Every structure is written in structure tokens, then in C-alpha cells.
Amino acid sequence: MAKKTTKKKKSLQLQRQTTKATGKNKKTVVPPKQKAIYSRTSSKANIAGDSSGRQMRAGLAAAKNLGGGQSSLKRVSECVSGMLPLAQRKKLQSLLDGSYSHVFVESLRALGRKATGIEEVYEAAKKSKTNVVVADLPCVFSLSATPAEAFQRRVMAAVQEFERDVIVNRLQEGLQAKAKKLQTQGKNNNKVNGRKSYLEKLLQNDSRNMKSKIKALTALCKDRKQGKFGFRELAVKATKVLALKKGAMGKDAAVTLSQQL
């Protein structure tokens, strides 16, 4: 009996040693997922401003409302267009790989400016089970969204795209109006490093008759475009209008003048 007991003890010791060596029966410790705040700016000029800071503060407030610790939050900023697909937004994509439990953003604008792009972000978050918390619309990115919440998300995403399109349209209209005004004034809207256009240099010493001369030069350029004469003759005629010395304006100068008018 004593021999059998000794053998059992040795067998148990061997099993324990084997368990220690192989690591069997050890519980796998899963590290807790991180939380992050994400901010997006579309240009470097906005980074220098308060855009990123404002978004971060909104994200911190949303995290505080959720009851999470703020010190462990990872802060991620990205300078990228909101019109790009998720595949081209590497930092946001990395936050939706499943290693983060929560991603806090100020608004849907941070996630995208295109309705389909925002929906793509939602699907990626749902797949990785990442809770994206939008500060001003906390339930809009619910992973178990009701039909009403899903409808709200899509409507708000469409609003973001509409808002962006309106801004772009107004900007383009403003630029076109400015270009037309500059053209009327005889200024070149393609200045380099603030240098004056060729026409401005020609008229800088004759501000009194500027309007009448611009009108005459515009008429000459129009005739040239209609094929009544070429650039060489335009140079000769423009020289007379501007009261310059004979030969002061050549063909190349006439081409430049025509482009600016």
C-alpha cells in the first residue's frame, strides 16, 4: 500500500510539473479594450485653429457622461477629407478594428461628409462591435439600432452631405463672382506671391483714365478673338491706347494682356 501511495504522489507531481511547463489550465487574461476620442479636420489651417480642440473637448464630455475614466482615453486626430471612403482614412479605420470598445466624436461631421461614407463607418463599427458615441446624437450609432434610430442616422448623414454641398456651391459662386470682378477691373486673378498683374503695371500710373482704357483694351481683345486681327496687331493697337512708346509691347505681352481681359 505504501508503494502505491508513493507512486500516486509521484504521478501527481509529474502532472503538476507538466501543467506548469505547458501552461495548461491557466486562465487566459483578456486585456480590457481601449477607448478613444477621434477628431477630423479637412485642412491644415483648421488644425492650427480650435477645431481639433473643440472636438476633443466634446468627446471628453461625452466620455464623462458615459461614466468612463478620461485619463485612459486615446486622442486621435486626422487631417483628411470627409468625402473619402473609410479605406483611405487610416486612423479612423484603425479605431474600428475591434481593439477599441468606444470611440467618441463631436458630431457626424467628424465621421464623414458623405451619406454613404457615414453608413460605411457604421457598418465597420457594427462588425467590430465598436461603440461609436456621437456627442450631439448619442443614440444615432447604436449597434442594435431600431428602425427609427437607423432612419435618424441615415437622415442626419444625408443632412451632413447636403450641408457640405451647399458650402461648396456658395464658395464656388463667390470665387466666380470675384474672378468676374477682377476681370472687369482688369486684374489678373492668378497672381503669384502677391505680384501685380501685367495690366496693373501698365495702368498703375494712369488711375484717372483706367476705366476708359480697360474698356478700349477689352474691345480690342474681343475683336482679336473674333479673328479681325492677330496678336501682333493687338500689340500695336494696345500700345496706342496705353500711350506707350512704339514697340514697347510685343506679341507675348499682347497674349498676356488678352488672357487677363
Could you read off the pLDDT of 31-45 as tens digits, one per residue? Answer: 778 899 999 998 776
Query: For residue 171, is it within any domain?
Result: no
User: Per this entry, what is the length of the chain?
Assistant: 261
Same domain, 49 and 118: yes
| Amino acid 5: pLDDT | 52
d(CA 216, CA 226): 16
Query: For residue 180, is it within any domain?
Result: no
DSSP assignment string, 207-245: -TTHHHHHHHHHHHHHHHHTTSS-HHHHHHHHHHHTTPP
Same domain, 101 and 212: no
Q: Does the pLDDT of residue 188 top 60, yes or no?
A: no
Average confidence score pLDDT of the chain:
79
Total domains in the chain come to: 2
Query: For residue 219, is it within any domain?
Result: yes
Nearest to 81 by CA among 72, 89, 69, 91: 89
Reading the block at residue 75, the C-alpha cell is 486622442
CATH number of the CATH domain containing 104 = 3.40.50.1390
Reading the block at residue 47, the C-alpha cell is 488644425
- If pLDDT is split at 50, 70 and 90, which confidence band does 140 have? confident
If you ran DSSP here, which 8-state letter would residue 78 be given? E
Query: For residue 46, is it within any domain?
Result: yes
Query: For residue 152, is it within any domain?
Result: yes
247 class by beta-carbon count within 10 Å (0-12 exposed, 13-18 middle, 19+ buried): exposed
Query: For residue 4, is it within any domain?
Result: no
- If pLDDT is split at 50, 70 and 90, which confidence band does 224 have? confident
Q: Does the pLDDT of residue 112 top 70, yes or no?
A: yes
| Amino acid 261: pLDDT | 67
For range 228-247, the mean pLDDT: 81
Q: Does the pLDDT of residue 115 top 60, yes or no?
A: yes
Range of the domain at 203: 198-260
For range 58-70, the mean pLDDT: 82
Same domain, 155 and 38: yes
